[in-house]
Structures are given as structure tokens and as C-alpha cells.
A and B are shown apart, each in its own frame.
Chain A
Amino acid sequence: MYIAKPSNIIVIGVGHAGCEAALAAARMGLSVKIFAISLESIAMMPCNPNIGGTSKGHLVREIDALGGEMGKNIDKTYIQSKMLNLGKGPAVHSLRAQADKFKYSQEMKRTLENIPNLQIIQSEVIDILVENSEIAGVITASGAKYPAKTVIIATGTYLNARCIWGEVSTQTGPAGLSSSTKLRTSLEKAGIVMYRFKTGTPARIHAAGVDFSQMIEHKGDDEIVPFSFENTPESIARKQISCYLTHTNETTHDIIRANIHRSPMYSGEIDGTGTRYCPSIEDKVVRFGEKASHQVFIEPEGENTQELYISGMSTSLPEDVQIAMYASVKGLENAHIMRFGYAIEYDCIDATQLHPTLEFKAIAGLYSAGQFNGSSGYEEAAAQGLIAGINAAAKILGKPPLVIDRSEAYIGVMIDDLVTKGTKEPYRMMTSRAEYRLLLRQDNADLRLTPRGYGYLINDERYGRLLEKKRLIDDEIKRLRGLTVAPSPILSELLLHHNSTQISSGVKLADLIKRPELTYEILSVVDENRPSLPKDVTEQVNIAIKYEGYIAKQLFHVEQFKKLENRRLPDDIDYDDVGNLRMEARQKLNALRPANIGQASRITGVNPADVSNLLVYLEKRKLGGLS
């Protein structure tokens, strides 16, 4: 039996979580081995061919601000870029890019390959080695032993995966790749609680048979914004490819209704818990029977392929029904299906078994990330991978762990939701999950997080640039708050032109910027001494001044929030010793072992009185009244 030289970190899985985890750890200088059943699946997109979208776009910007890879990789391989929600406030502007999914995968593989201390190995991990509640390494299908100080599980949807469509089911992972069948037993033996989730994907069709003239064209933006703060629009400019919108109709729905008994979702063939966030077309037709049509977006899967992704029509109906169903959609009458849609069931965990660092509470040195933790989506996976990778490395390097809280980033909201509340269905990021949405914008992810990443993946040079940007923003805001503009013919004309109320005496320029109909840019003509500043700086200045009131309100809430987050709960606390806790709270607290009072207060079943009692107990301990 082969026993490998010990490595610092082992990553199981090469999906979006695994790649970020391995890159983060390797870039922090540690030796990393990353395992996959198939190396063809590196950063594969087995479902939709795009990155970003509402709130997910925020995640990608945040990953980039912390020194992760996803933003850079999509900037290299996008074929269409769009900023969503431009008609709404800056907090919910969201970037989304269509990817050339094949290139995306190749580029990520190239990036991994070019890091000397990162080894990519095609082999199935079937066992984790745990000694005295501490991880020791892994064993592969061939019996080889790979010792390691820390291990990160990122098996995505491959663990005991089963694909189902119609009456057919196969023991395979996504896109027909082999699944991982043995690891579950090992994890269960280690005491890890498993769940079974399901998701699904639509068919892919050949572009040749599609009549695009029957559909509405959706083009990319003329002025694009890169995902990575280290790119400029010019540096990544390229020709974009369009997507198209069409609709299902009553015929489509009739076909589905007539065959619904053959759907594995309805015949009881599937027992995994599905997600409301990605319903199949049969779900939509059954649940919203009154709707005469549903939107269908046709998205190219890449530049050098004829395959198209049919967004909005994910399905697990039998092949003959799929053929008839897709052909009933306007413009798809002659389309030829290249890959059939399917549902996929897989094993994942109850993420409340994890610390906010994504390390298992019960097994030191074992981390996990991505769909294995119960999330859905590439971006959610990548964000967790990055945090798990950084923390696994930090542990070995003796650095403090990186825990991002709910007031700092969508990443913080997501991880806190997963590890505090757990999830009963695949978890999707949504803007409405973030309490401090106005502060967590995609445009300021670098200001929020790059300083937090300093000392992990952010080097002196990038940190210095960020500080300089911040200085320019602060100085300019200060200048505008102090600058008074007097009434003048030029200003009067400007105000008239923008339907804005005239001023009769001098006002602060900052107060004019606050008016909804005016902006920092518009007022440049009455601001003679305005310094020449980069656009990313002036954008921040404009937002900070315009929405000052709302921002202040949210900052106040954040201040209150932080006070509870800063009250740490000791590791050795036994909640049976805490007097007056209600039974439910006691059980939940003993099971979840929250890191601080704030996290404890968010656990379902813990009420304010329980929290008060915890505080009193903590104080008693401090006084030495308890051992």
C-alpha cells in the first residue's frame, strides 16, 4: 500500500469550492493536494452557464476582494456581461456574466496547474482518517494513504449521486461522471450527520434547430464592469454573445400534465429534498396552474459549441416527454436535444455541525465547503471554499481564523445562516437574507473585505492600493461636505435642466448631491476645484453622500449587532449548568455550541430571556463563581 509524503492540506473535490480552497491554501504557502474522480470536472458548470446574478454577483465580488479566483476566471472567459437591477438602488445592482463553460473550466485548470506547491490528483477518496477527534489524512480507492494536517471536503453533488429522468436512474454524478459511493460510510462512522438533497437541470439543445427570430434577443451591456477589482473594463473587453427569451405555452403545459405521473418527482421515485429556488418546469406547471406561460431563456454554453442551455425548463420527465415538451416552445420546434434534463440526488451534511470557520466542531482539522454543506450554486460554493481554504491554512500557520460576520459581507450572511440555522433544502443566496443590504454592495466589496483579507491572500501592494483608494474617497467626501456653492446663473440653469428646486442662498455641495435628481457627476460644472479622480472613487463618493441617511441607520443597527457578536461563549461551556434555560434552548445550545452571544441569539428556539440568562451566567463565570 502506497503511503504518500504528508502534506499540509488535502482538498476532496475540484468543483468551485474545491478550486478556491486549494488555491487559497496553496497561495498562503502551504503544500496542497487536490483530489478528483475525474480531472475533466475541474470548475465544471454542470448546470447554468453563467456566474453571478442577484446577490450571487455580490458573492463573486467579495471572493475577489478577499483574493479568491472566481472573479478573475469569469473575467477571462465571459461571453456576455450584464449589470442587473440598474433601475434600483446601488445596493442591489448585481453583476452577471454568461460564461464559456468549457473555457471557464480550462482556465481554472491552468491556474491550478501553475501553482508549484499544488498537486492535482485523479483518484477517488473513500475514507477519512480521524485520530483522537482530529483529522489525519485520507485513503483513496486504490488503498493509498495520504496523511495531512487538514482536510477540506468539497464533494459537491457527487456523494452517492443518483441521476433520474423518467423511469431511468443511474448511479452517476452530474453530466454522467462517476459518483463517489464509499465516502459516506466513512463520514457517518466519524459521527457526521448526513442529509439527502436533490436538484435538477434542463436539457441542452443544438443551436442549428433553433429559430431565434421567434424570440426576443437579450444583449450584454455596452459598458461592462469586471468582476475582479484588479481588472479594468478595457483590459477584458471582448465581443459578446446574445441570449434569447421565449415562453412555454398551454400546449407545453398540457404535455407536462398528461405525463406528470411519469415524473420521478411525483411518482415517489425521489426522496431527496428539492429546492424552491430551482423548481422544475413540471413543478411550476403543477404549483402555478393558472399561469398560461413561463419564461424560457436560451443561453449559449460557449463560443465554440452549438450547445444551448434552456433556462427555466429544468426537468426530470422521461425522454419522449422532454422531446415533445421542448418542441412545443416557440422557436424550439425543430430543436434537437443533445443532453437530456435530469434530477440529481446527493448526500450533504447538516451544516450546523460546523464552526463559522467551516471546520467541523467534532473533528479538528476537518473542513467542508460548497454543496456538501447544503448550499446550491457555483458562487455559494466558491465563497465557502475560499473561507475553508483560508482557515485550514491559517490553522496550520498559527494565524487567527478568518470569520466574516453578517454585517461585513454576503459571505458572512450565508455562512452564518448555514452554520447557525442549517438548511432543510439547498440554500441559495438572496439579497433579502442580508439585514444590512445597503452596506453590502457589490461596488464596495473591496473596501469592505480587502482589509480583512490582508495577511491571508491580500499582499502589501494590493492592500496599499486599497488604502489609497479609501483615502481619496474620504478626502473628497470631506471636501464636498465643507464646500458651499452660491446661487449662480450656471447653477440655476443646471437645476432648471434637471427639474430641481432653485436655491436662494449658498448650500453645501454635498446637500445638492443628495437630491434624487442630481448626482456628483452632474454637479461638476459648479465645482471648479474638483480634483481629477478615478471613476471607482467618485462612484463611492456619490453613493456615500446620496444615501447618507439610510447608511447611517444601518450602521447604527450594525453597531448594536456587533456588541452581541463580541461577547464570546467559551468552548467548554456546558449549557446544562446554565440555570433557567428553557429545555429547547438548552438542547439547541448544547448541540450547536455557538461562538458568541450574537450567534446564540439567532438560533431558532433560543429567545431573548434565554440570552439574558446566558449573559448572567457568563458574568458569574467571570467572577469565579463557577468552576
Chain B
Amino acid sequence: MRKNSRFNLDDTIVGILAPTGGAVSIVRISGDDALHILDKIFVCKNKGEFESHRIYYGWIVDGKQRLDEVLVSVMLAPRTFTRQNVVEINCHGGTLAVNKVLSLILANGARLAEAGEFTKRAFLAGRIDLSQAEAVMDVISAKSEASYKAAINQLSGRLAQLLRVCTNDLLNILARIEMSIDYPEHEEAEIVAQDVKIRLKDILSQIDKLLATANQGQLIREGIKTAIIGRPNVGKSSLLNALIGQERAIVTHIAGTTRDVLRETIKLGDIFLIIADTAGIRETDDIVENEGVKRSIKESENADLVLLVLDGSEDLDDKFISEQAHKNMIAVVNKCDLPQKIDLNKIPIPYVTISAKDHKGIEELSTKIKEIFAINNLQYNQDMVTNVRHINLLNIAKSSIKSAINAIDMGMFIDMVAIDIQDTYAAIGEITGIVVDEELINKIFADFCLGK
């Protein structure tokens, strides 16, 4: 049985250097695979072989989706802090984007760095002098203990309960399989792979649910990155003003390094919207149409939510709508105070009618947004998985359990399927702090009457 201690000396690790919330956060990757991972998630002009100690400008991408505009420093071993390959990504997109970048790197095979781990590696590689060593050890002890406890405490009662149900189910399945392997002549030893599959699928759907809440949790905590698009003069600026006027709560101005981007965080009821390029929105009401649309499209590519503003006093512009492709898009039909010409029934996406000028309909918009992100179904601070470490482990669990199901479909022997189930169990066990070691054998002998 694989133990759930992911302690390694030189696997590839990733962590956030500067605390998130500041203007720029640095995501650092260290290890053999650093460049390989970068290659998969980074696009830039003239991308070829990375040269050491150079800075590259480009985008972090998840498949086709752009996550953040970044500057990347590439440093090849051994002339680096850790004497391993090191990549540092300067993210500009705020907390949510940084977390997305981090999750993407984790999904591509890196492990989340433990507290003080970069410094530890630097020390072990002889990059820090002796006098600093004690400090390193202090940090490791203090932080890892604290962060471990914090992570466990962060699990709410109900979430911990859900995870415990998963681990119990997995343990039951494993005990059954292991019993049949170690006691093949026992009368209960026969095992039906399809039964195992059904139970695994149940657990997979539980994990999926938890992961879905993880995304929502992040959205709630970090804010929904929102693009406001539309043709000139439909009222984008007045919508923005209406939103800001709704509750003038938090407004941040962040200066990017490559171009000036103004972003405003707006509290809308109990959710946060991060509206990017507010300057742009104001400008595009004035500048020539083509330029404005181009800019809108670029914004919407990086947004969690697109608010497509339409003018209710005009005919429906289906062509414009059909040109936009975003999975979370709401049509905001403005100017409901004027005589209406638009045929609401023909709008192919969710919509609300408002009058930005009179601040009417903003409440409905808020409700619609929550609907789209299924936020209403959430009990705040309850079922949500929000810790990056937990999300990472859940993702590992998910991919392992999928391999197990796949292996059963392939007709693979049950003892091999068990390898994937053990990986799943170890990953979830690491979230809940279960010591995997003796659990399984205890379970086998508790559940089955065995022995000569």
C-alpha cells in the first residue's frame, strides 16, 4: 500500500512567493520538470528553446483559454537559487488568476511546495550559508505545523464529513479486494469488478461535486472576473456606474507593467465582481466601433463572466450575440425605461432587463449571476473546498479513480485496479489527515473472518 507522505527531495515543486492580493504575485517552479511544464502552459512570441536567465513576455494558457498575461523568468540549473531548473512567473491578474495559474501547474505534474521548501532546497544545494540554516529549520517547523493544522481546521464539519464518507467507501472497497487477494480460498473472496466500478463511480461523483464547490468557493472569495461588452452607446459605462453606485465598497486600481489596466472590484450583494479594463469600457463607448469590439473580445476571453449589454430600445442584434462565445454570458438589456423594440424571446442566452440610468434591475442581475454560478445552492463556508492544497489532492484523487474505472473497463485484473484505488485513498487521506499505514489491514481483519 502506498503511503500518503509525498516527501521528495527533488521532484518539481511550485509555490506562490509574494503574498497574493498585492499588485504582482510570483509563482515559482523548481525542479527537473519546470521547463517542461512551462512549455505546456505558456505562449509567447518566438517561442523556441528557453534560454537561461532571460525574461519572456506572454500568456499562461489552459488549453485555449488565456489565464493571465505574464512575465516569465527562466533560469536553468545549476545557476539558480535551488540549483535546479527554476521558472518564475510574474502574474498580474490578481488572486484568482494566480490561483488558477497555480492550479494549472499542479495539474501539469508539479507538487505544491511545503512551507520553506524552496529555501530548504537552496540550503541543501549549498546556496545558503550556515548561519541561515537555523532560520530555515525554524521556518520549516513553525510553518509546516501551522499550515498543516490550518488546513485541517479549514475543513468544515460537513466537508470533513463528506470526505470521511469517501475515504470509508474507498477503504471498504480496498479491504474487500485485498482480502480476496490474501485469502483467495475464503468463501467471500469472489469479487465482481462491475460492482467495484459502480461504487467507484459514486465516489467519483462525490469528488466532482466537491471540486465544483472548489471553483465556486474561489469565485466567492476572490471575485468573478467580469467583462462588460457591447456595441457603442448601448450603455456599458452607465451599467458600470450603476454597479459601482450600487455599493461603493471596494475599489482597487492596479497598475500593470505592460499596459495600464484599471480594474475595479465591486461588491454586488454577497458576491464580488472584478471588472477589468474599466477605462477601456468607458473609452469604447466613444472610439470607433471596430477597435472597441476587438478589445471587448480580448477581455471576454479572460473573463469568468461576460455581461453583454444590449439596447432594449433598438432591434435585437443577433449577429453580435452569435459572434460571442463564452460559457457564462448574460445579456443585460438596458434602457428598459425607454419604449422597447427588442424581442426578448429571441435572445438565445439568459438575460435581465435593467435601466442603468435609474439603477433599476441591478438586484435581478445579481440573482442571475448567482444562478449561473450555482452560488445560491451553496451554504457559505460549509461545503466549499477552497484550499489550493486540497483542490490539488482532490484532483489527484479524481484522476486516480478515473484510471481505476478505466482499468476495469479495459478488463484489467482487480489487483492492478487496486493500485489506482490506493492512490485515490492516499490522496483523500492526506486531506483529512488519516494515517494510511495500518488502516487497511485493520479494516480487512475487522470486516472479514480470516485466518487458518
**A→B interface (CB under 8 Å):** 47-48, 54-55, 84-85, 88-89, 91-92, 94, 276-279, 284, 287-288, 291, 294-295, 297, 311-312, 314, 430-433, 435, 437-438, 516-517, 547, 550, 553-554, 557, 560, 563-564, 567, 579-580, 582, 601-602, 604, 608-609, 611-613, 615-617, 619-620, 623, 625
For B449, the closest partner residue in chain A by CB is A288
Query: Are B184 and A284 in contact (CB-based, < 8 A)?
Result: no
Query: Are A609 and B419 in contact (CB-based, < 8 A)?
Result: no
Query: Are B449 and A291 in contact (CB-based, < 8 A)?
Result: yes
B181 interface residue (CB < 8 Å to A)? yes
Given A54-B182, A85-B184, also A580-B5 (CB < 8 A):
no
Query: Are A619 and B133 in contact (CB-based, < 8 A)?
Result: yes
For this complex, 16 residue pairs linking A to B, each with C-beta atoms less than 8 Å apart, are A55-B182, A89-B415, A89-B416, A284-B449, A312-B452, A430-B441, A432-B178, A432-B444, A437-B415, A437-B419, A516-B411, A579-B134, A601-B7, A608-B5, A612-B120, A619-B126
Chain B residues 107-140 with CB under 8 Å of chain A are 114, 116-117, 120, 123-124, 126, 130, 133-134, 136-138, 140
Given A48-B452, A311-B452, A612-B140, also A435-B415 (CB < 8 A):
no
B141 interface residue (CB < 8 Å to A)? yes
Residues of A within 8 A of B9 (CB): 563-564, 567, 615
Q: Which of A295, A438, A601, A609 contacts B416 (CB 8 A)?
A: A438
Query: Are A564 and B415 in contact (CB-based, < 8 A)?
Result: no
CB distance from A439 to the nearest CB of B (A): 11
For A429, the closest partner residue in chain B by CB is B182
B410 interface residue (CB < 8 Å to A)? yes
Query: Are B441 and A433 in contact (CB-based, < 8 A)?
Result: yes
Q: Which of A47, A88, A608 contacts B413 (CB 8 A)?
A: A88
Instruction: A554 to B141: give the CA distance in the assembly, Å.
Output: 31
Q: Which of A55, A278, A295, A432 contacts B1 (CB 8 A)?
A: A432
Residues of B within 8 A of A94 (CB): 184
Query: Are A623 and B441 in contact (CB-based, < 8 A)?
Result: no
Instruction: A431 to B444: give the CA distance in the assembly, Å.
Output: 12
Residues of A within 8 A of B140 (CB): 580, 609, 612-613, 616
Residues of A within 8 A of B185 (CB): 84, 295, 297
Query: Are B130 and A620 in contact (CB-based, < 8 A)?
Result: yes
B55 interface residue (CB < 8 Å to A)? no
For B437, the closest partner residue in chain A by CB is A604
Residues of B within 8 A of A547 (CB): 416
B320 interface residue (CB < 8 Å to A)? no
Residues of A within 8 A of B8 (CB): 560, 563-564
For A202, the closest partner residue in chain B by CB is B452
For B138, the closest partner residue in chain A by CB is A580
Query: Are B3 and A435 in contact (CB-based, < 8 A)?
Result: yes
Query: Are A553 and B182 in contact (CB-based, < 8 A)?
Result: no
For B186, the closest partner residue in chain A by CB is A295
Instruction: A607 to B183: give the CA distance in the assembly, Å.
Output: 33
Given A579-B137, A619-B133, also A612-B452 (CB < 8 A):
no
Binary flags per residue of B413-442, CB closer than 8 Å to A gives 1, else 0: 111100100000000000000000100110
CB distance from A99 to the nearest CB of B (A): 14
B319 interface residue (CB < 8 Å to A)? no
CB distance from A276 to the nearest CB of B (A): 4
Binary flags per residue of B140-179, CB closer than 8 Å to A gives 1, else 0: 1100110000000000000000000000000000000010
Instruction: A88 to B178: give the CA distance in the assembly, Å.
Output: 11
B10 interface residue (CB < 8 Å to A)? yes
CB distance from A313 to the nearest CB of B (A): 9
Chain B residues 343-394 with CB under 8 Å of chain A are none
Given contacts A560-B8, A580-B141, 16 further A-B contacts (CB under 8 A): A54-B183, A85-B181, A279-B449, A294-B449, A311-B452, A430-B182, A435-B1, A435-B2, A516-B412, A550-B419, A564-B9, A579-B138, A609-B114, A616-B133, A616-B140, A623-B126
Residues of A within 8 A of B451 (CB): 276-279, 284, 312
Instruction: A312 to B440: give the CA distance in the assembly, Å.
Output: 23
Instruction: A601 to B183: give the CA distance in the assembly, Å.
Output: 31
Q: Which of B7, B124, B126 contacts A564 (CB 8 A)?
A: B7
Instruction: A616 to B414: give the CA distance in the assembly, Å.
Output: 42
B11 interface residue (CB < 8 Å to A)? yes
Query: Are B5 and A601 in contact (CB-based, < 8 A)?
Result: yes
B187 interface residue (CB < 8 Å to A)? yes
Binary flags per residue of B325-342, CB closer than 8 Å to A gives 1, else 0: 000000000000000000
Q: Which of B141, B419, B445 contacts A438 (CB 8 A)?
A: B419
Q: Which of B11, B141, B183, B449 contacts A613 (CB 8 A)?
A: B141
Residues of B within 8 A of A312 (CB): 451-452
Query: Are B133 and A625 in contact (CB-based, < 8 A)?
Result: yes
For B442, the closest partner residue in chain A by CB is A276
CB distance from B13 to the nearest CB of A (A): 13
CB distance from B282 to the nearest CB of A (A): 51
Residues of A within 8 A of B114 (CB): 608-609, 612
Residues of A within 8 A of B437 (CB): 604
CB distance from A436 to the nearest CB of B (A): 9
Query: Are A616 and B137 in contact (CB-based, < 8 A)?
Result: yes
